[in-house]
Structure 1
Amino acid sequence: MEASQLPSEVWVHVFGFLSTADKLNIRSCCTYFQTLVDHWSLWKGNTVFLKRLCASTAQFWTTLRRRKIKSVVVQRANLKEWKHLVLSLPNITTIAVEACFDVKAYDILKQFQHLKSLSIRRCRYGQELADCIGHLQKVTHLSVCEMHSARRTEVINAISKLSHLTSLFYHEGTCPIPRQTLHVMLNRLPHLKHLSLKMGTQLGSLPDDYFNLSKTKSGSQGDRQDGQTGLTSLELLDYMDPTLSEVALMCLPSLQSLLVDYRSRDVLSSRSHLKTWLRVLPKLNHLNIAKGHPLGAYASYIPDTVTSLALRQVMMQPEDLKALGKRVPGLLQLHFDPCSYNCGSSIGEIPRSFPLLRTFKMRHYGVSDREFSNLKQLKYLERLEILDAKEPSVHLMEQIQNLQVLTNYRIQIVYSLNPREPIACYCTYC
């Protein structure tokens, strides 16, 4: 039977189950499949990496338009190439600018009338960037990463003009944003929900009211009148106690997600401010901790509202995991990646401590056959991700097959992790 005898809708539905690589292979089979594979519904959410734009053919741009590509990563483009891009794909909504050294190119960004998400990383600063940002009034998601420029204040002032901004990743510089500058920015971003900051080095502690706007004088047009931020998600990268005080997060009772990525594991548990922060976050449901204090320093302070927990390169003892299970027995998602492989034996404690898990991320190294097969006791487990099995061994494949049989194949087991989101900041964990 010829391919054309089946309705095109059937083929498009089948192609929807294929990976990007498989779709490209199918596309090369014949012109009929080429047309079907380019159907826009098969490329929703797809991000295209653009290099050497001037070398791209007219057919290449036609194909991208046919697929209705909305998200691109533009690498090392000059002014001429940017002009070519805005003419070829004027309806782009998401752009990641990478290694752009032609500061005049920033002005072209204003010509993308539908731009909602912008990521600028490892690029050259200039007044042109600040001028450009201030004009992108439709942008709701902005990421600025690894710029290292003396023009920080100018850029922050420009960001403050984006009144529709809901998400901001500001990972620039080697020290925290000054309190007054941060307050001015937060006051003028009434819709901001997600804030990610790279804290960097800091001599001494920041003021207690670093996130508290109640004492900040307002009055400028667009400033908040209630003195409160609307943040529901906060990320602190490259952090080290006691940069923020013990009461720094008391003014953020609506926080639902907190990520603290410590600069190192060489910290004293007696100086942990995390345990104090956790006491004043009654709505917290996502907690992500990397390195820093041993789990025992704050395990008994984690709110029972937390349903998603990530522990990456965190020092812990078996008894810490038991204490954690008593605090959050209703945990649904767990990313368990301790800093030492001798914690492999703790895997056996997981089903008893967190019986309701739906998603579990773990390392396989050091886990015995018995401990691995005992994961069958997680009756509600839907997805298991193995973090250290990019090329799984024969032994691991046998363990996986055995677990699948024991659970009647109800668990999706992933050992080839999804690649980093193309437009994500380099500093951000997946």
Structure 2
Amino acid sequence: MQEKSMPASNTGIMRATHLLQLPQEMLTEIIRYLPPAEKSKVRATCSLFKDLVDQPVVWQKSTIVLRRISAFNAEFWDVLRKRKITSVEVKEIGLKQWQKLLRFMPGLLDVTVDSLWSKEILQGLQLLTDLQKLHLKMCSRLSERSVIREIVHFQHLTHLLLCGITFLSSSELIRIACLQNLHLLSLHTVQKALPEKALEYVLFHLPKLRELSLSYILNKEHFLLCLSLPDRLPIPYSSEESPPVPKLQLHTLALRQTGYNLLSERFLDQLSTIHTLTVCYIKDFLLHSVDVFGQVLKNLPNLTELNLLWISNLDMFVDNIPSSLVKLSVIGTKLSNSALSCLSDKSWKLREMDLTLSYGFDEKTLKQFPHLFPLLTRLCLSGFVLTDNILLSLAKMESLRELDVTGSTNLTKEAIQNFRITTDCRVHLLVEWHSVSSKCDCLWST
């Protein structure tokens, strides 16, 4: 913006200030809010912004996604080192490029690897002595022995996510118990169920564990979890093992499986501290265990967020949803008009609701949302065929700040414009289609 002289009659009005006249601290703070692509554009404008964008403080909470590392030159690595990048996600990499990455960025604290295909990749991580967060998305090419025996060297780990791993024995799984600083543990297995007793031992020997995500295939004979303090160590492990905690202190729990049983009664005693619960099953699964799951919901006095993905019917246990709920996500699930009405009566604190691809309720109930859920600040109806009249009815929700109606091709431009006028543009309206799978992935990435 050019600085202009004001006429004498307007001397009381402040003159426009050139952007570069702002204090550098203010410019830095503005840049911090920009996405990486926009930061790059700003950096290319002049030497001042080049220096500002390269400040480490601008990249403190940023994760750099690296693809085709072989295409990067020495200047690129120098820039990353200058910015003191601590978090990377690696998409495609060879062993030589991986070694170069670790050599130029020894201060990494958070590493995500898309495909783990070589034992040398894991061994190279030992250069990252302060590593705190490790996410291995595809471990199926390596044995659990190779994976676990490298991971347990990272005693500073607070977050461990292993996807696609198969635990064939208890001995390797139990080794995770030595990572005493773990705050988050995510184990998504393939082909085989997790050894139950070994899993219990690990969980009760991680005193700082607060977030747990489990996914694995079961059969009729297996329970998903029987979380109770183990009587003894399933197999010999260490003469210096720490004593178990008397009770888990989980705040976040995510469960996904394809079995027939849900949770044992012994598990209920471990639920009182949970604030966020995510459950994902095949659609007919809860027909076999609705009573158990209803009992689970009754034992969650501190639950504030509930995410239900691809279950058969919410009606079966809507009466058991606690009144403490603030956020509810129901994806690909049937819920009737009466279920929504019951939910309105029980969970009056609800502020956010996501009904992506859910079904079973009609337009009449949608029009009653301003009355049923007056405190909602965010509502997602992605995949639901909305009419112009429904959209204008939702404009009466005075607390609403975000409305997602992506995938609703019936809405006219006039209705969208009228909605924005009616709400004085206070509601962020999402109308472009986005992937439901990416939303599900977000729920599971904890």
TM-score over 0.5 for the pair:
yes
**1:56 partnered with 2:75:** no
- Asked if structure 2 preserves the Cα contact closer than 8 Å seen for 1:308 and 1:334, the reply is yes
Q: 1:406 aligns with which of 418, 422, 429?
A: 422
Q: How many residues align?
A: 424
**Partner in structure 2 of residue 253 of structure 1:** 272
**Partner in structure 2 of residue 204 of structure 1:** 221
- Asked if structure 2 preserves the Cα contact closer than 8 Å seen for 1:116 and 1:140, the reply is yes
Q: For residue 41 of structure 1, report the CA deviation from its aligned partner.
A: 3.4
Q: 1:302 aligns with which of 321, 333, 337?
A: 321
- Asked if structure 2 preserves the Cα contact closer than 8 Å seen for 1:310 and 1:334, the reply is yes
**1:104 partnered with 2:104:** no
**Partner in structure 1 of residue 5 of structure 2:** none
C-alpha offsets along residues 334-353 of structure 1, whole Å, 9 cap, x if unaligned? 11224338655542232222
Q: For residue 65 of structure 1, report the CA deviation from its aligned partner.
A: 1.9
Distance 1:379 1:370 in 2: 17
Q: Which moved more, 1:80-89 or 1:333-342?
A: 333-342
Structure 2 CA distance for partners of 1:174 and 1:143, relative to 1, 3 Å: same
Q: For residue 247 of structure 1, report the CA deviation from its aligned partner.
A: 5.2
Structure 2 CA distance for partners of 1:344 and 1:63, relative to 1, 3 Å: farther
- Alignment identity in percent? 25
**Partner in structure 2 of residue 195 of structure 1:** 212
Distance 1:270 1:349 in 2: 32
Distance 1:367 1:265 in 2: 28
- Asked if structure 2 preserves the Cα contact closer than 8 Å seen for 1:198 and 1:236, the reply is yes
- Asked if structure 2 preserves the Cα contact closer than 8 Å seen for 1:141 and 1:167, the reply is yes
Q: 1:122 aligns with which of 105, 124, 138?
A: 138
**1:185 partnered with 2:202:** yes
Alignment map for 1:282-321 (pairs within 5 Å):
282-321=301-340
* Structure 2 SS opposite 1:287: strand
Distance 2:196 2:275 in 1: 23
Q: Which moved more, 1:156-165 or 1:16-25?
A: 16-25
Structure 2 CA distance for partners of 1:163 and 1:379, relative to 1, 3 Å: same
* Structure 1 SS opposite 2:121: helix
Q: 2:389 aligns with which of 370, 386, 390?
A: 370
**Partner in structure 2 of residue 92 of structure 1:** 108
- Asked if structure 2 preserves the Cα contact closer than 8 Å seen for 1:65 and 1:89, the reply is yes
- Asked if structure 1 preserves the Cα contact closer than 8 Å seen for 2:277 and 2:306, the reply is yes
Structure 2 CA distance for partners of 1:408 and 1:22, relative to 1, 3 Å: same
- Asked if structure 2 preserves the Cα contact closer than 8 Å seen for 1:315 and 1:338, the reply is no
**Partner in structure 2 of residue 232 of structure 1:** 251
Distance 1:125 1:119 in 2: 15
Structure 1: runs of 5 or more not aligned:
none
Alignment map for 1:213-228 (pairs within 5 Å):
213=229, 215-216=231-232, 221-228=240-247
Alignment map for 1:262-411 (pairs within 5 Å):
262-265=281-284, 268=287, 271-340=290-359, 343=362, 346-363=365-382, 365-388=384-407, 395=411, 397-411=413-427
Distance 2:295 2:239 in 1: 34
- Asked if structure 1 preserves the Cα contact closer than 8 Å seen for 2:91 and 2:115, the reply is yes
- Asked if structure 2 preserves the Cα contact closer than 8 Å seen for 1:121 and 1:425, the reply is no
TM-score normalized with structure 1 length: 0.87
**Partner in structure 1 of residue 156 of structure 2:** 138
* Structure 1 SS opposite 2:308: strand
TM-score normalized with structure 2 length: 0.84
* Structure 2 SS opposite 1:107: helix
Q: Which moved more, 1:170-179 or 1:273-282?
A: 170-179
- Asked if structure 2 preserves the Cα contact closer than 8 Å seen for 1:204 and 1:243, the reply is no
Q: Aligned letter for 2:210? A: K
Distance 2:176 2:289 in 1: 38
Q: Aligned letter for 1:194? A: E
Q: For residue 319 of structure 1, report the CA deviation from its aligned partner.
A: 1.2
Q: Aligned letter for 1:133? A: I
Q: For residue 264 of structure 1, report the CA deviation from its aligned partner.
A: 2.9
Distance 1:105 1:5 in 2: 48
Structure 2 CA distance for partners of 1:18 and 1:234, relative to 1, 3 Å: closer
Q: Aligned letter for 1:253? A: S
Distance 1:425 1:134 in 2: 26
- Asked if structure 2 preserves the Cα contact closer than 8 Å seen for 1:384 and 1:411, the reply is yes
Larger Rg: 2
Q: 1:164 aligns with which of 181, 189, 192?
A: 181
Q: What's the C-alpha RMSD, in Å, of the aligned pairs?
A: 3.2
- Asked if structure 2 preserves the Cα contact closer than 8 Å seen for 1:216 and 1:227, the reply is no
- Asked if structure 2 preserves the Cα contact closer than 8 Å seen for 1:48 and 1:71, the reply is yes
Q: Aligned letter for 1:292? A: I
Q: Aligned letter for 1:334? A: M
Q: Greater relative contact order: 1 or 2 (C-alpha under 8 angstroms, separation 6 or more)?
A: 1
Structure 2: runs of 5 or more not aligned:
3-17
